[in-house]
Amino acid sequence: MKQFVKVFRFEFLNIIKSKPFIFLTILLLFCSTVALFFPRFSNGAKPPEIGDGSPQKIAVCDKTGKLAEYIKENMDSYEITICDENTAETLLTEKKVDASVIITSPLTYTYSVKDMGMYDTTPDIINELLQIKYRTIKLSEFGLTEEQITEIQSSVAVPEYKIVGNDQAQSFLYTYILLFMLYISVIAYGQMIAQSVATEKSSRAMELLITSAKPESLIFGKVLGTGCAGISQMVTVLLWSVICYKINAPFWKENFFVTSIFDMPLKLVCYTAVLFVLGFFIYAFLYGSLGSLASKMEDIGPLTGPLTMIMAGTFMVPIICISSGNVDTAVMKILSFIPFCSPMAMFARIAMSTVPPIQIAISIIILIASDIGIGYIAVLIYKRGILMYGKPPKLLQVLKQLKK
């Protein structure tokens, strides 16, 4: 235990005192500060208005001959040119107008534009206008008065939303960001642990280490020391971001995306922390033990490649599922109990749907058990790996040896 504490402290201090680590932490703090203070100096941070990016000048060609003037009257915020089809095309290619509308029948038209803006609502406006016009004509044919028609046309449904579980639209963004953070941190710190073990081997510092300390102390100290350094970096950056956000909260209140991240429910933050830490160490132990099989730094890539692939896979499935909005699929349910994938899958499910507490508990218990089990296997691999030099063994050979 004493040795573990020594190794832990040595590894932890080594990392947090290292220049790249300090540089990266400062960079992240700087970026979050700049990003979160930005709206204070740029008149708030409104999300793009609906209608932004719509063309301003439109050429309209009306083949029905009845709708052009009606459109022009009702779209007075646009600069509308009424012309024939050829002129409309020429105007568009010569960039004298931003878009052209060629109406072919009361309900059909072609909308031509060079690049379709994300928030271009022009077609919606035209749809609406054409539909109203069509219905008005049809309804008056049925003998309704103008008043009756106006009443029918102006009646709209007024819904009121009550969300019992999670609002997926709100939770999507932070789920995505947190999944991504876990993925990046596991890969970055996992690789760091593997490299650190391999450096000790290649510099032969291992020769002294194994004769000075127990392998259990060495790998646990290294994995937990490096892991805690990484976690403390993330916590620092996140806490700082929260502080910056709180200072600037009034400037952010109109930005739905950002408020949704920082107004994440506290319960979810706790679940995230537990799942992330447990998931992180499963991979960290494996990276550490794989690093012990390398004799040179070049061996690390091929050795840790498969693990990184597994990690990428367990990242992709939840990402695809949350993007499709369908989080509670059978696949996700199964994945949320498999130790390698459960941190991401279970987290995505908790964040974006309603998961029975018993399922969360089971998933966490499985994770804790796997952390202990994988820690144990990692020690076995490490014990053998650190004494082996030369070509790294195949994974199969290692497993065979472990059986003995």
Partner 1 sequence: MNLTVNEIYKSFGEKNVLKGISLSAQSGKALGILGRNGAGKTTLIRIIMQVFGADAGAVLLDGKPLNPEIVKIGYLPEERGLYPKQKIMNQLLYFAELKGIDKKTAKMTAEKYLSELQMEQYKNARLDTLSKGNQQKIQLIASLISNPDIIILDEPFSGLDPVNAGMLKNVVKELIKEGKMVLFSSHQMNYIEEFCDDIIILNGGRAVLSGSIKRIKRSYARNIIEILTEHNEKALSVFESACPSFVKNAEILDGKLTVTLFDENKKSDLIKFVADNIPDVDGINVKEPTLAEIFIHYTEGCV
Q: Which stretch binds partner 1 (CB under 8 A): 34-42, 94-102, 201-209, 257-265?
A: 201-209
Nearer to partner 1, 113 or 224 (CB): 224
Position 263: which residue type? D
User: Could you tell me which of 196, 225, 206, 199 has the C-alpha nearest to residue 386?
Assistant: 206
Report if residue 399 touches partner 1, rule: CB under 8 A: no
Nearer to partner 1, 78 or 220 (CB): 220
Report if residue 22 touches partner 1, rule: CB under 8 A: no
Nearer to partner 1, 87 or 202 (CB): 202
Report if residue 16 touches partner 1, rule: CB under 8 A: no
Among 130, 206, 344, 378, binds partner 1 (CB under 8 A): 206
Report if residue 297 touches partner 1, rule: CB under 8 A: no
Q: Which stretch binds partner 1 (CB under 8 A): 119-127, 184-192, 197-205, 276-284?
A: 197-205
Q: Which stretch binds partner 1 (CB under 8 A): 30-38, 39-47, 107-115, 203-211?
A: 203-211
Three-state SS string over the chain comes to CHHHHHHHHHHHHHHHCCHHHHHHHHHHHHHHHHHHHHHHHCCCCCCCCCCCCCCCEEEEEECCCCCHHHHHHHCCCCEEEECCHHHHHHHHHCCCCCEEEEEEECCEEEEEECCCCCCCCHHHHHHHHHHHHHHHHHHHHCCCCHHHHHHHHHCCCCCCCCCCCCCHHHHHHHHHHHHHHHHHHHHHHHHHHHHHHHHHHHCCHHHHHHHHCCHHHHHHHHHHHHHHHHHHHHHHHHHHHHHHHHHHHHHHCCCHHHHHHHCCCHHHHHHHHHHHHHHHHHHHHHHHHHHCCCCCHHHHHHHHHHHHHHHHHHHHHHHHHHHHCCCCCHHHHHHCCCCCCHHHHHHHHHHHCCCCHHHHHHHHHHHHHHHHHHHHHHHHHHHHHCCCCCCCCCHHHHHHHHHC
Closest approach, Cβ 329 to partner 1, in A, equals 47
Q: Which stretch binds partner 1 (CB under 8 A): 3-11, 152-160, 289-297, 307-315?
A: 3-11
Report if residue 371 touches partner 1, rule: CB under 8 A: no
Site for partner 1 in 209-228 (CB under 8 A): 209-213
Among 116, 177, 205, 269, binds partner 1 (CB under 8 A): 205
Nearer to partner 1, 14 or 232 (CB): 14
Nearer to partner 1, 154 or 211 (CB): 211
User: Could you tell me which of 303, 305, 323 has the C-alpha nearest to residue 398?
Assistant: 303
Report if residue 277 touches partner 1, rule: CB under 8 A: no
Report if residue 200 touches partner 1, rule: CB under 8 A: yes
Nearer to partner 1, 7 or 58 (CB): 7
Q: What angle do CA 16, 20, 25 make, to 5 degrees?
A: 65
Among 26, 116, 177, 208, binds partner 1 (CB under 8 A): 208
Report if residue 23 touches partner 1, rule: CB under 8 A: no
Q: Which stretch binds partner 1 (CB under 8 A): 43-51, 102-110, 198-206, 330-338?
A: 198-206
Nearer to partner 1, 26 or 387 (CB): 387
Nearer to partner 1, 205 or 372 (CB): 205
Report if residue 380 touches partner 1, rule: CB under 8 A: no
Which residues are near partner 1 by CB under 8 A?
2-3, 6-7, 10, 14, 200, 203-213, 387
